[in-house]
Structure 1
């Protein structure tokens, strides 16, 4: 695999008198037994011919049969009379040939990387939002499972055995298109994007690849075997979206046609099996954003006056970390949303099933105070599936977290008048702030912890 024009240009730049160790115009042959280079000057009459030969070599393909002939001629012109015997010339030309082949190999690897990067650019940055082009621009999230599928599909597409095989490429582009829409617009898939992507990739292929990579029969087993390890016949029951309680996925690979092609009997939308993310959290070394103390003591806004639920979630593969949040919707729906966005299996730790109907007064302000009290153990997490930062996670015990929530909830319920600018009590006690009763919360929390 070699880009047509780029390879010759790079070859011409790298093949010169210096890289051939001829820039000092000396014989340069290593003297036997001494390890020192021969310092006898190259005959001046030969220098123009040497320059001409080097220029000729820089224009030849590495597969050209002229390469060994030209290198042999170059050796004859560069060696002094003492080192001009046939055997020594053969050794010198062999060294140069090895240098050219090594540079070609390194450039080929670079060329593959270049093609892969350009193919990635065709797709643009991965988005967590629906790609449906409606007049209102949908904007709904596609979910962490689909973000994961997009990333995995692109990783497959940029492999040479895929982008060099039209069948593999065409099918995986359909898989990619099937994963860029939200559940509401999944029916919008019409292969328009797949066709456009394929056209752009074929253009990249035609410009940069003069010797197409052939996927041999023995390569087919490696390609299909690797994909089967990820997409073998599997049946799973996992949540797929907030509105779906379960999704049954059955995937199979067939290899009945041309070598190197991967054939799947299912719809491209079900190519990747549903599976929760189980990797460790990716922590960011940056402070989490939080409300300043003076804003916590300020008047309640309209949203903060609404009742809601304070909840604690735990992710089963990252024990010791808790998410503390609030919602004015049902906790079950909130948990389903987080599962959909981040494609992780969350467990509701608090409140218990018997407390799910009990709302907390001034829930948003209570949540802010809980975050303030636990700021010392707060963590910022980057999620590569919802493509966002999460700042409501804390490295603390369940017991401590529940203690803080309950104490702050009780305190807020008892002293909410301190936040209401219209409260006659607050007007009568002008200047009173929550600072004066915060020690009550500390004592309440201590009794629970």
Structure 2
């Protein structure tokens, strides 16, 4: 960064806006907030340096230089390393999305002891450390925290627990990663993305949800900011930071934008100066039209079109190979006593979104589907097209159980969608023709209307009470039917065909069930 790069102006902070006291607005606030927010401080004082920036010292002239880390003797003891890695309890330990981000209590899926023992002599300079940390992650992290973003964050934290070793051999963290840590507006350990502003006269975060569209705009802006061509150019960097702030700060705290931008800019400047000199273009490489748009209203830099990009998806390692392999999942779901959430009536729905035809989302809601549909649009910035039900419909009993049975039957088509607009992994998507998804929903809806569950009036155990399991069980006659899952599923298929098309559709149904029976017998003989 050029030495002439300015520090934040010596000006008084802008007056903060009062938070709207309207209860309806308060309801928009997220119940949890896990990522760092930026409290407003008087800009007459240099902003504090984020703990994640490279170790630096500031001279009297204001220049910044890298501070050498102090080497720590290696090797570490086995117990000492376990403690440093926060793996001494036999639990995953990753931060959860609950309020305060308490550590995950799921057990380690593998034996971490031998892996940790093999790492006691390693240092941050060891070439094999990244590979060994990946192995440790596979053994230590539960299925909810082994996903890419959360695993990377945990590995980054683990690495800091190892001795420095040879200081000259420790690779510098990429400058782009350092800048991302300053612009930490989108933590994966939160239930929703919220405003990074601070409440009036306090250091507590705002918690107002910013919505999927603004979250996507913010992420796209960060992608531009970390491009090496931008941070040596003061004007472009300042404008992009204003664009980011306008999308991650709510309307209550617009007055905080100048200070927030100044803090970000100051910290990015210090990071850039702390790294070795890099060749940079003398002037911006952006087009004239882009620069003109950049100089305009920051809130209008990005258009407001709904997201139509292709999904980013993952497939679970243990996903069944075909429909017959799902029978055991269906049987298990049918046999489970109903939970409290499965006692209420609701709607089971299916929808798709533009740009991802062939993907169907199956879910349930206790509220009108049009209300839930509007929420999807805000949360995920995609316009849902409802496939089922079409038109007015009545609520069905045990809607949550029906949803679970539909997803169990289509588990071999299941795709996890990693949403960029909200911090969620949507697990209810299936890659299947819409007609098939609708048929499955109708089949299990008709079955649940036969009242297959009844209240046994038995006294639940304490464990069942803690897990909200009720005394509603499958009827004895239905339990006998599910003893032969092939025959049970064939009966449901033929019943559905008769309901939809009458007896004329029963013959094709019987042909299909016969073919499926032959496949099932072949599978059993293998």
Give yes or no for TM over 0.5.
yes
Matched residue count: 302
**Structure 1 pair 123/429, CA: closer, same or farther in 2 (3 Å)?**
closer
Alignment of 1:167-186 (within 5 A): 167-181=235-249, 185=252
Q: 1:263 aligns with which of 295, 311, 325?
A: 295
Q: 2:368 aligns with which of 305, 324, 330?
A: 330
1:116 paired residue number: 176
2:437 paired residue number: 401
Q: CA deviation at 1:273?
A: 1.1
Whole-Å Cα distance in 1 between the matches of residues 362 and 440 of structure 2?
Answer: 11
Q: Does 1:366 align with 2:387?
A: no
Q: CA deviation at 1:407?
A: 2.0
Q: TM-score, normalised by structure 1?
A: 0.58
Whole-Å Cα distance in 2 between the matches of residues 399 and 213 of structure 1?
Answer: 55
Q: Secondary structure at the match of 1:223?
A: coil
Q: CA deviation at 1:168?
A: 1.9
Indicate if the aligned counterparts of 1:288 and 1:391 stay in contact, CA closer than 8 A: no
User: For each residue in 1:211-245, what CA deviation from the matched residue of structure 2 results, as whole angstroms up to 9, or x when unmatched?
Assistant: 895644xx5xx4134726xxxxxxxxxxxxxxxxx
Q: CA deviation at 1:419?
A: 4.0
Q: After TM superposition, what 4+ stretches of structure 1 lie above 6 angstroms from structure 2? A: 1-6, 288-292, 426-430
Task: Please say which structure displays the higher CA radius of gyration.
Answer: 1
Indicate if the aligned counterparts of 1:309 and 1:363 stay in contact, CA closer than 8 A: yes
Q: Does 1:421 align with 2:453?
A: no
**Structure 1 pair 275/361, CA: closer, same or farther in 2 (3 Å)?**
same
Q: 2:337 aligns with which of 282, 299, 323?
A: 299
2:262 paired residue number: 195
Whole-Å Cα distance in 1 between the matches of residues 245 and 368 of structure 2?
Answer: 33
**Structure 1 pair 210/405, CA: closer, same or farther in 2 (3 Å)?**
closer
2:14 paired residue number: none
**Structure 1 pair 116/350, CA: closer, same or farther in 2 (3 Å)?**
same
2:286 paired residue number: 223
Gaps spanning 5+ residues in structure 2: where? 4-63, 67-170, 321-325, 459-470, 483-487, 501-508, 510-526
Whole-Å Cα distance in 2 between the matches of residues 5 and 316 of structure 1?
Answer: 50
Indicate if the aligned counterparts of 1:311 and 1:348 stay in contact, CA closer than 8 A: yes
Whole-Å Cα distance in 1 between the matches of residues 446 and 334 of structure 2?
Answer: 16
Whole-Å Cα distance in 1 between the matches of residues 445 and 451 of structure 2?
Answer: 10
**Structure 1 pair 295/405, CA: closer, same or farther in 2 (3 Å)?**
closer
Alignment of 1:349-388 (within 5 A): 349-353=387-391, 355=392, 357-388=393-424
Q: Which moved more, 1:309-318 or 1:407-416?
A: 407-416
Indicate if the aligned counterparts of 1:141 and 1:341 stay in contact, CA closer than 8 A: no
Q: CA deviation at 1:444?
A: 2.8
Whole-Å Cα distance in 1 between the matches of residues 240 and 472 of structure 2?
Answer: 67
Q: CA deviation at 1:138?
A: 5.4
Gaps spanning 5+ residues in structure 1: where? 7-109, 229-251, 254-261
**Structure 1 pair 444/371, CA: closer, same or farther in 2 (3 Å)?**
farther
Q: CA deviation at 1:197?
A: 0.7
Q: CA deviation at 1:151?
A: 2.0
Whole-Å Cα distance in 2 between the matches of residues 428 and 224 of structure 1?
Answer: 66
1:38 paired residue number: none
Alignment of 1:41-440 (within 5 A): 114-124=174-184, 126-127=186-187, 128-130=192-194, 131-134=196-199, 139=207, 141-181=209-249, 185=252, 187=254, 189-208=256-275, 213=280, 215-216=282-283, 219=284, 222-225=285-288, 227=290, 253=293, 262-264=294-296, 266=297, 268-286=298-316, 287=318, 293-353=331-391, 355=392, 357-416=393-452, 418-422=453-457, 431-434=476-479, 436=481, 438-439=488-489, 440=491
Q: CA deviation at 1:308?
A: 0.9
Q: TM-score, normalised by structure 2?
A: 0.50
Whole-Å Cα distance in 1 between the matches of residues 311 and 450 of structure 2?
Answer: 38
* Structure with a larger share of its residues in helix: 1
Q: CA deviation at 1:427?
A: 10
Indicate if the aligned counterparts of 1:324 and 1:392 stay in contact, CA closer than 8 A: yes
Q: CA deviation at 1:5?
A: 8.0
**Structure 1 pair 211/388, CA: closer, same or farther in 2 (3 Å)?**
closer
RCO higher in structure (CA 8 A, sep ≥6)? 2
Indicate if the aligned counterparts of 2:238 and 2:265 stay in contact, CA closer than 8 A: yes
